[in-house]
Amino acid sequence: MRYRFGNFELDAAQRELRRSGESVGVQPLVLELLLYLVCHRNRVVTKQELLDALWADSNVTEASLARAISLARRAIGDDDRRAPLIRTHPRVGYRFTGELREQADPPHPAAVRDDTSTVSSYAKAGPTHIAYQVVGRGPVDVVMVQGWTLSMQSLWDEPCASRFLRTLAESCRLILFDKRGTGLSDRVKDLPGLAQRMEDLSAVLDAVGSKSAFVVGVSEGAPMSILYAASHPERVRGLALLGGFARMKRDATQPFGWTDSDAKRLEEYIRGRWGEGASLAAAVASHAEEPSVREWAARAEQIGGSPGAALELWRMNQDIDVRDVLPVLDTPTLVVHAKDDPVIDVQHGRQLGEDIAGAEYCELEGRNHVPFYPPLCDPILSALGRWVSEARPPRNAERVLATCLLGDWPADTDGDVDRALHQRVAAHRGRLAKHASGSWCAVFDGPALAIRCALAIQHALVERRVRCVLHCSELECSTRPSGDGTEPTLYIDGPGARFAERMLASAAPGEVVVSRTLRELVTGSGLAFEPHPRSAADGEAEPQPLFRARLA
């Protein structure tokens, strides 16, 4: 349903506010508040009802509601006190009193299709179009994050994969999408890192109206799914990792995984023979010699992405490392791995099962990497069906994986520091918070945005030579009333916040210093790093190496 008032249009299906046809930037919670008032415009909605409806899992005060009402009024230009669109009923609540015109939505391919349709729609992630499909009408949402360059079209072209997806969609609403740079999504100059790909996933979930979903990460889709579940726990009801990994390449701390010579061979194949199908055929070892499979694999490589895109994605995959995230992951997790997986060694699956608290690990006989072919498909479908049927509610997000930016902000005598902080943090989609040490800091969902914000602050305050440090970890978040009726203050604490405080002692004036964990999460983001001579922090059993950050 779309609601029109004045020159505004509120699109309930797309969760978008438009003015004269142009999209108006509104915080998701503010948009939900506006939509709730519009849908219940025949009566006064009490403050408690709004708090229960919009902050069901949070302990907030009426100050948060008042702030959201103020932002909603600002978004729709509600500044006429004599005839307000949102009328305040003192000590009771609010009512939307504007004159509305309702218009039913036109048939939407992602919302009203039958279970056999595979028509693609597009979500907007910034200027980029992300292609997606929705299949099935089940009571819960399941979004599948594919690996490599495998596209939606290629999945439907393969009979075993198509059967797998349709069977899964019998018990859920199945959401598929093509990563940017692959399949039907926009081609881009540079493929994004994990942080940008998380934003793409959020854009798809927003487009289909999914507030929380089960996330299935397949192969290279697993690391991003892990990071997304840790960063957005309120949107992830459960996590399934099929043939996944936390770090693909072996190193001194991981004796299993791809070697440098393995990586070089694949790179040579991409450069000289991409489109022959060898990379995908290898993932279906038990059927690789079948002519139909070889033909499908060749088409799938060509449809999925260009050699340049495949090469860039492959290089990024080699640098992915989310092992530090596994111990703080607090999402119900199912890990499934084939015992003789020819692409991702079973040791990767065992590591995930051991390092993710409470994970259910299922090791299956077989030598295929992808889950669509016998003998893996039926046991995996059975495990996924049981896992989805439990329909766990999303958990409270009081403890979340986020990036903390901490600095030694000087005493502000002329307002420059205050303006620099507020402007840069807001521009990079962060939120100012109080650190456990008592200092101001900032919290970000996107680690690359956090680093860019620190570099922007340092540039703005170059003469003051401020120190900035950043660390990504699980943070303990709480809000407290501000006392002046404005938005409550966010407070952060916990081991991750304390570690950032210790990092500050190792940074020199004028430096932007990041932890190893953060550096490994922003692969492919256009940032450069060099080893820092000091580690963090004295007294730690295993001090973590630090890195100076700069624009590439």
Q: Are residues 250 and 275 in the same domain?
A: yes
What does pLDDT average to over the chain? 84
Given a cut of 80, whether residue 510 has pLDDT beyond it is: yes
CATH number of the domain that residue 29 is part of: 1.10.10.10
∠ CA 58-64-69 to the nearest 5 degrees? 125
Q: Is residue 202 a part of any domain in this protein?
A: yes
State residue 279's pLDDT score. 92
Domain final residue pick, 329, 356, 389: 389
Question: To which residue do tokens 């438009």 refer?
Answer: 18
State residue 312's pLDDT score. 86
Given a cut of 70, whether residue 164 has pLDDT beyond it is: yes
Q: Is residue 112 a part of any domain in this protein?
A: no
Q: Is residue 115 a part of any domain in this protein?
A: no
CA atoms within 13 A on the CB side of 433: 23
State residue 471's pLDDT score. 92
Average pLDDT on 127-143 reads 90
Between 307 and 196, the more confident residue is: 307
Q: Is residue 114 a part of any domain in this protein?
A: no
Given a cut of 70, whether residue 117 has pLDDT beyond it is: no
Measured CA to CA, the distance from residue 319 to residue 314 in angstroms comes to 9
Given a cut of 80, whether residue 292 has pLDDT beyond it is: yes
CATH number of the domain that residue 259 is part of: 3.40.50.1820
Q: Are residues 141 and 64 in the same domain?
A: no
Given a cut of 60, whether residue 413 has pLDDT beyond it is: no
Query: Residue by residue, what is the 3-state secondary structure of 92-115?
Result: CEEEECCCCEEECCCCCCCCCCCC
| Bridge partner residues of 145 (DSSP) | 217
Task: Specify the DSSP class assigned to residue 163.
Answer: H
Where is mean pLDDT largest: 345-349, 365-369, 510-514? 345-349
Q: Is residue 448 a part of any domain in this protein?
A: yes
Task: Specify the DSSP class assigned to residue 26.
Answer: -
Tokens found for residue 144: 């599948």
State residue 255's pLDDT score. 94
Given a cut of 50, whether residue 456 has pLDDT beyond it is: yes
Given a cut of 80, whether residue 83 has pLDDT beyond it is: yes
Given a cut of 80, whether residue 19 has pLDDT beyond it is: yes
Q: Is residue 113 a part of any domain in this protein?
A: no
Between 89 and 40, the more confident residue is: 89
Q: Are residues 98 and 176 in the same domain?
A: no
Given a cut of 80, whether residue 394 has pLDDT beyond it is: no
Upstream peptide bond of 375 is cis (omega within 30 degrees of 0): yes
Between 481 and 532, the more confident residue is: 532
Q: Are residues 20 and 77 in the same domain?
A: yes
Q: Which domain holds residue 443?
A: 399-551
Average pLDDT on 186-196 reads 75
Task: Specify the DSSP class assigned to residue 41.
Answer: T
Length of the chain: 552
Q: Is residue 183 a part of any domain in this protein?
A: yes
Q: Are residues 74 and 178 in the same domain?
A: no
Given a cut of 60, whether residue 325 has pLDDT beyond it is: yes
State residue 416's pLDDT score. 66
CATH number of the domain that residue 458 is part of: 3.30.70.1230
Q: Are residues 193 and 173 in the same domain?
A: yes
State residue 113's pLDDT score. 37
Average pLDDT on 6-12 reads 86
Strands (E), 31-109: 45-46, 86-89, 93-96, 101-103
Between 81 and 148, the more confident residue is: 148
Average pLDDT on 265-272 reads 93
Given a cut of 80, whether residue 215 has pLDDT beyond it is: yes
Domain final residue pick, 366, 389, 412: 389
By three-state DSSP, how is residue 349 classified?
Answer: helix
Domain final residue pick, 46, 74, 103: 103
Q: Is residue 108 a part of any domain in this protein?
A: no
Q: Are residues 36 and 66 in the same domain?
A: yes
Given a cut of 70, whether residue 59 has pLDDT beyond it is: no
State residue 247's pLDDT score. 94
Q: Are residues 359 and 433 in the same domain?
A: no
Given a cut of 50, whether residue 165 has pLDDT beyond it is: yes
The answer to whether the CB of 402 falls within 8 A of the CB of 411 is: no
Q: Are residues 50 and 156 in the same domain?
A: no
The answer to whether the CB of 122 falls within 8 A of the CB of 133 is: no
Given a cut of 80, whether residue 483 has pLDDT beyond it is: no
Tokens found for residue 304: 């999925």
State residue 191's pLDDT score. 63
State residue 514's pLDDT score. 93
Give the chain's domain count: 3
Q: How confident is the model at residue 297 (pLDDT cuts 50, 70, 90)?
A: very high
Q: How confident is the model at residue 109 (pLDDT cuts 50, 70, 90)?
A: very low
Q: Are residues 204 and 318 in the same domain?
A: yes
Tokens found for residue 201: 């996933």
Given a cut of 50, whether residue 531 has pLDDT beyond it is: yes
The answer to whether the CB of 226 falls within 8 A of the CB of 333 is: no
Q: Are residues 178 and 306 in the same domain?
A: yes
Q: Are residues 361 and 453 in the same domain?
A: no
Average pLDDT on 24-50 reads 84
Question: 277-282 long-range contacts, Cβ below 8 Å, gap at least 24?
Answer: 277/301, 279/148, 279/310, 280/148, 280/150, 282/342, 282/343, 282/369
